[in-house]
A and B are shown apart, each in its own frame.
Chain A
């Protein structure tokens, strides 16, 4: 075999390995892109509704967005599990249950501590819980997802502490943007 043939073979090997990894294990990445887009739309919408004192419309905004997110997550999990039995695709059922458990936990906290009377605290709790979820999700899939979760948590605390009036906008741009960017990064480089 000539060196140029060896180089062509190595190049082909690298491309196929990357493609196999990307297309079989994209659950984490696409999951983050989906929820990043939902967060961006939801938190920008919340900021606008609060600005125009239309607080009562916030639930009407988030309910369909969350429904799209949940259905989209289920679709992604099923689609990925059919293509390759990878760490993340076989984990998607227990992970879905884990996220549901986190949601239930948040629901109990919001109810017991009456956080529904304070929109900022309620939103902060939810964002921090999700950030925790991403940190733990990344421990089982790819470290980049944990980094995004950590960044989300830091942004949420910083915005709530120093710029509470821009909390929703900050989470939309920085949090949603981090999820979308992190998701595409994970798709490109693995995770």
Chain B
């Protein structure tokens, strides 16, 4: 049985990574865009982003647009690689005989 990354395996964090990896490399998602896309609360998203950031899978950048705070989130190269490995592991479970 292939090992599943416990950081990404959590359902909410899996969806967060899927959304961020769904964007092209170099693209960033606004925090509220991510929250609305995934139907999460601010607190819930923040907690999971913190966990992903601690693992080095995402970066969170807080800036200001004028006087309004803006938070940008994006997947790191390590995060993209870890997500790709997670998807490979899922496919290994689904199609063990192919690999």
Contact = CB atoms under 8 A, between A and B. Distances in A.
A16 B15 contact: yes
SS of A interface (majority): helix
Given A1-B4, A84-B33, A86-B23, A9 B28 contact: no
Size category of the binding interface on chain A: 20 to 34
Interface string A1-18: 111001101101100111
B90 A16 contact: no
Nearest to A2: B93
Interface in A1-59: 1-3, 6-7, 9-10, 12-13, 16-21, 23-25
Interface in B1-52: 1, 4, 14-15, 18-24, 26-30, 33, 37-38
A17 B87 CA distance: 13
A85 B93 CA distance: 35
Given A1-B1, A19-B37, A86-B23, 19 more contacts: A1-B4, A1-B93, A2-B93, A3-B94, A6-B94, A10-B87, A12-B15, A13-B87, A16-B22, A16-B38, A20-B22, A20-B23, A21-B22, A24-B23, A24-B27, A84-B23, A84-B28, A84-B29, A86-B27
Interface of A: 1-3, 6-7, 9-10, 12-13, 16-21, 23-25, 82-87
The 5 tightest CB contacts between A and B, nearest first, are: A17-B22, A20-B22, A16-B18, A6-B93, A20-B19
